[in-house]
Structure 1
Amino acid sequence: MQPSIDVIDGKDFRRMIAGAYNAFMREHEYINSLNVFPVPDGDTGTNMLLTLGAVAKAVAEAPDEGIGSLSRRAADSAIMGARGNSGVILSQLLRGIARGLSGKDKATSAEVGKAFQYGVLYAYRAVARPVEGTILTVAKGIAKGAHRAVRERLAFADILNEAIRAGQEELKRTPELLPALKAAGVVDAGGQGLIVFLAGCLEGLEGRFSGPEADFGRTLTVPAVAAETNIAHPYCTEFLVKRFTAGLNEVKRQLEQMGDSLVLAQGESVLKVHIHTAHPGAVLESAIAWGTLHDIKIDNMADQHRETIQNEPLATFNAAAEPLPAKAALAVISVVSGAGLIDIMRQMGAGVIISGGQTMNPPVEDFMAAVHNGPAEKYIILPNNKNIVLAAAQAKKLLGDRVAIIPTVNVPQGLAAVLAFDPERELDANIALMTEAQATVKSGSVTIAVRDSQVRGQTVPAGSYIGVIEGRVAVWADSLQGALAALAEYLTGPETGMISLYYGAGLAKSEAQALAGLLQATLSSVEIEVYFGGQPHYQFIVSVE
């Protein structure tokens, strides 16, 4: 039996963070599998892993010894490295813990227990409209369990055990509170992530480490997601890693699982990488942990469409549109993935592009870098994905009135908003115009169901083509043509004049045009336009005006 720990110091805190990171390395794929919808964007575990990876690295390298200063470093690194909604909520949990431990060299079990209660409170406040049956329900259960244990003056290991037990009870209830979870037969993924975090803290505190060795950033990998494409690995990806510090054998082992045609050329603190892959975002996410990335180049071999990313690996600045003067008054930051959509967004006037979207949620740090290094004094951010809105909001908290956000949740909304942008107008006028423009857009997307699911009492088998609107499955079919036609019919009405189709990386231009032609035959009164989007996972993004 482990001895009771009545006083927690900096060394204990380091072990807790290391244990939590270790636990996420072991469990993040399981957390991803709890995705409530059968679409290929289950990345809650990955977002929390990457966020905690930034924390673990900062805490491991920090010279601080006191628990208060270490917890502040943990909170700061989490806020900058937060990815996705789950990562932002986790960062706020750590921020609350830091508040409770502020100024302390050591802390009693009761003081640390109260700090964790602060953390849960901060996590709850991070969400503008809390919904029961989510991570927040589990957070409340954890807080109540910790509160009871603190009142009973238990050792901190026992406080954690009670918090975990109470959280697990609430986690079991989430399917009863949220019908979508019950229909999918899963518990809430974010809530499961909180349980993993606490369990990992307990393991670290007691010195119980299991699973893959945590290397605080150097072994971070994002599981490769198979792309729906005509060739297995359509993206020729090349980049240079400077200040290369990782082991060559480990890098080779990771990359061999993510593609083929791998070539590694190592020099003095430099590594040149060439790989053909279905998921270049996963390759780059892994490579960030090996050093600094330069000269990134991604070619879509299926469509012979070339996209070169310059400067920052995840933030690219507009070179296609008319150049903005040095430090213009106002510019747009838009988050989007897919070579074609990046080009379109630039041509419409986005001043800064941050590469991201489904399964590739950019961290808060990318927004910070874009603002500090970009071409304007103030910015309007278009997240273009519901899972990126909180990270953008966190950036605004840090940057203040230099940033405004229009909470677009899909690419068509973002395209409509940026089209209404006028750099000659004041910020408030642009916000009004862009908000009105994005609200008029009706949109959906077509993808492949990654698992069996129940939708309105009917079974949608894995492998079906599904039409998704605002995060829910609206239509499904056995064929791509059928799903596209059903989605277009669902979205159109008597006033519809145009449908824009943005085809993804897995479709050839000829195939996309043929499907558009079949759709046009059934919707003869509507103009249909086809554009190369290049987005992963989704065969079509559909915008209706």
Structure 2
Amino acid sequence: MQQSVDVIDGKDFRRMIAGAYGAFIREHEYINGLNVFPVPDGDTGTNMLLTLGAVAKAVAEAPAEGIGSLSRRAADSAIMGARGNSGVILSQLFRGIARGLSGKDTATSAEVGKAFQYGVLYAYRAVARPVEGTILTVAKGIAKGTRRAVRDKAPFADILREAIGAGREELKRTPELLPTLKAAGVVDAGGQGLIAFLTGCLEGLEGRFNGPEADFERTLTVTGPAAEMSISHPYCTEFVVKQFTAGLDEVKRQLEQMGDSLVVAPGESVLKVHIHTAHPGAVLESAIAWGTLHDIKIDNMADQHRKTVELAPAADMSKDEAVSVPAKAGLAVISVVSGDGLINIMRQMGAGIVISGGQTMNPPVEEFVAAVHNGSAEKYIILPNNKNIMLAAAQAKKLLGDRVAIVPTVNVPQGLAAVLAFDPNDDIDSNVARMTAAQAAVKSGCLTVAVRDSQVCGLTVPQGAYIGIIDGSVAVWADNPAGALEALVRQLIGPETEIISMYYGAGLSSKEAEVLATGLRQQFTHAEVEVYFGGQPHYQFIISIE
């Protein structure tokens, strides 16, 4: 019989996070498989796993401290490491928990239970337009179960059991609330992820670690191009603290716990800091208490591995030399795309910074923050170019304030249209208005292969079929790429169409792409058909109609 835990401390919290991470290592592929859409974008479990991995690493490496400060550290790490919409929702769960535990060294079961209720509330608020039958339905059920158990003054382990039970009941209902889930015969992936999180917390609290042991120095193996880098402290972080009044020894003690390659160069009321860290946001948050922060530079040292943000190298931080950083000026665009061809095209069209990401490889919030801190412009407009990156971009804006604006592009053609409308000499509000109008006028679609059988308009689309997608829905399918491509373009074009732009993916050769383009030219003689190398994974073609 498990012993009841009536008072929760920092050690208990550590075990819960370690248990939750172990549960996700065990369950994330199953959660990925619940994604009902037949395109190869089943990344809900992976996004939640990588977000939780950032939390687990920060908590594991943190010094012994109370549950309040530890939960705050977890929340900061979750926010900066959040990937995809599901990861951002999970990060808001941690944010609410941290609010409920703020200032506490230990907490009663009721206090921790209420903190988890805060977490569910924050997670729900993270989505602008909540949809029933999703992770949010499960979150509401968890909140109700938690509230009942807290009211009955149950031990926290029992509170978790009640929350899990209530959440599972709501999870069972999700197919009845969303027809797409019912047609596929699955429950909501994000909701299943929440259940896995709470189950892991309970296992960790009770000392039942059923997942693989966490090894943060080892590369995390995930399918697809989103595999994690193996550098344990990938962000070279530099800044200057002016009006420095804190104790130098205490500052060194704090920084030594946050990374390596530490250089601390004190001057007259000035401190220069250089550190390699996994969590630059946590470093800067600590440094705010030491004085005023200036000349912040964050460089991702794993750029060669993931081909992420291409930025200038960090300045030398020797003790005897002054930090010289060019003044930031003007306005620039940060665009998210995947594929060497599309990255080059986006840069040529005027994007100042390109972050590699897209379907199944959603960049974390921290990459947006690092890009803005390290870039040469004073302000930036973000083009997410994928609906599953929207919440991460919005979270970056919350952290960066008016230095960032977002144009809500949900695919690459919209992003290309938006960046073409960008004028670096105009103000940010005018640019956002013009770029938003430009992206909204775009007609686009994409061609890929169904990774599972699915129901579309009452018909079964078989696994392996070529499917054309418009506005996030399967519009056409065929058993060969030429037939699916022609049917897709036929749905997109009109008598006013002048140009059909085709961006072919990494799985096609230029010869194969040109053969398919020739077929379109023969079918649609009134429009020009242009072919470009995109290099994107998963999608044979991305189509833009002008």
Instruction: Identify the TM-score tier after normalising by the shorter chain.
Output: 0.7 to 0.9
Q: 2 CA distance for matches of 1:240 and 1:177?
A: 41
> What SS does structure 2 have at the residue aligned with 1:388?
helix
Q: Who is 1:321 aligned against?
A: none
- Partner amino acid for 1:218? R
Confirm or deny that 1:314 pairs with 2:322.
no
CA contact (8 A) 1:7 1:109 kept: yes
Q: In the comparison of the two structures, how many residue pairs are matched?
A: 471
Q: 1 CA distance for matches of 2:545 and 2:311?
A: 28
Q: 2 CA distance for matches of 1:455 and 1:32?
A: 20
1:241 is displaced (CA, Å) by: 5.9
Q: Who is 2:516 aligned against?
A: 515
Q: Who is 1:296 aligned against?
A: 304
CA contact (8 A) 1:240 1:295 kept: no
- Partner amino acid for 1:91? S
Q: Who is 2:505 aligned against?
A: 504
Q: Who is 1:49 aligned against?
A: 49
Q: 2 CA distance for matches of 1:374 and 1:465?
A: 40
CA contact (8 A) 2:4 2:156 kept: yes
| CA 366–433 in structure 1, closer or farther in 2 if over 3 Å, else same | same
Q: 2 CA distance for matches of 1:219 and 1:367?
A: 22
CA contact (8 A) 2:175 2:181 kept: yes
Partner deviation per Cα, 1:283-337 (whole Å, 9 max, x = no partner): xx9xxxxxx855727xxxxxxxxxxx8xxx421259xxxxxx9633100000001
- Partner amino acid for 1:124? Y
| CA 154–217 in structure 1, closer or farther in 2 if over 3 Å, else same | farther
Q: 1 CA distance for matches of 2:217 and 2:189?
A: 23
Q: Who is 1:263 aligned against?
A: none
Q: Who is 2:94 aligned against?
A: 94
- Partner amino acid for 2:173? R
1:221 is displaced (CA, Å) by: 1.8
1:148 is displaced (CA, Å) by: 0.4
Q: 2 CA distance for matches of 1:72 and 1:243?
A: 20
Q: Who is 1:488 aligned against?
A: 489
- Partner amino acid for 1:151? R
- Partner amino acid for 2:488? L
Q: 1 CA distance for matches of 2:224 and 2:542?
A: 22
| CA 33–21 in structure 1, closer or farther in 2 if over 3 Å, else same | same
Moved more, 466-475 or 343-352: 466-475
Question: Which residues in structure 2 correspond to 1:169-184 (within 5 Å)?
Answer: 169-184=169-184
> What SS does structure 2 have at the residue aligned with 1:12?
helix
Question: Which residues in structure 2 correspond to 1:233-252 (within 5 Å)?
Answer: none
Confirm or deny that 1:453 pairs with 2:486.
no
CA contact (8 A) 1:53 1:217 kept: no
Q: Who is 1:257 aligned against?
A: none
Q: Who is 1:103 aligned against?
A: 103
Q: Who is 2:211 aligned against?
A: 211
> What SS does structure 2 have at the residue aligned with 1:342?
helix
- Runs of 4+ in structure 1 deviating by more than 4 angstroms, as ranges, are 239-244, 292-295
Q: 2 CA distance for matches of 1:388 and 1:35?
A: 16
Q: Who is 1:191 aligned against?
A: 191
Q: 1 CA distance for matches of 2:31 and 2:233?
A: 33
Q: Who is 1:131 aligned against?
A: 131
1:184 is displaced (CA, Å) by: 1.6
Gaps of 5+ in 2: 235-259, 261-277, 279-299, 313-325
Q: Who is 1:165 aligned against?
A: 165
- Partner amino acid for 1:463? G
Question: Which residues in structure 2 correspond to 1:314-333 (within 5 Å)?
Answer: 314-317=308-311, 327-333=328-334
Partner deviation per Cα, 1:160-207 (whole Å, 9 max, x = no partner): 000000000000000110111111211110000000000000000000
- Partner amino acid for 1:543? S
Question: Which residues in structure 2 correspond to 1:140-539 (within 5 Å)?
Answer: 140-216=140-216, 218-224=218-224, 293-294=301-302, 296=304, 313-317=307-311, 327-539=328-540
CA contact (8 A) 1:446 1:468 kept: yes
Q: 1 CA distance for matches of 2:504 and 2:92?
A: 37
| CA 153–240 in structure 1, closer or farther in 2 if over 3 Å, else same | closer
1:243 is displaced (CA, Å) by: 7.8
Gaps of 5+ in 1: 227-236, 245-268, 270-284, 286-291, 298-308, 319-324
Q: 1 CA distance for matches of 2:184 and 2:327?
A: 51
1:242 is displaced (CA, Å) by: 9.1
> What SS does structure 1 have at the residue aligned with 2:388?
coil
Q: Who is 1:266 aligned against?
A: none
CA contact (8 A) 2:19 2:211 kept: no
- Partner amino acid for 1:359? T
CA contact (8 A) 1:53 1:220 kept: no
| CA 375–189 in structure 1, closer or farther in 2 if over 3 Å, else same | same
1:53 is displaced (CA, Å) by: 0.2
Q: 2 CA distance for matches of 1:538 and 1:361?
A: 16
| CA 35–97 in structure 1, closer or farther in 2 if over 3 Å, else same | same
Q: Percent identity, please.
A: 78
1:218 is displaced (CA, Å) by: 3.0
| CA 475–79 in structure 1, closer or farther in 2 if over 3 Å, else same | same
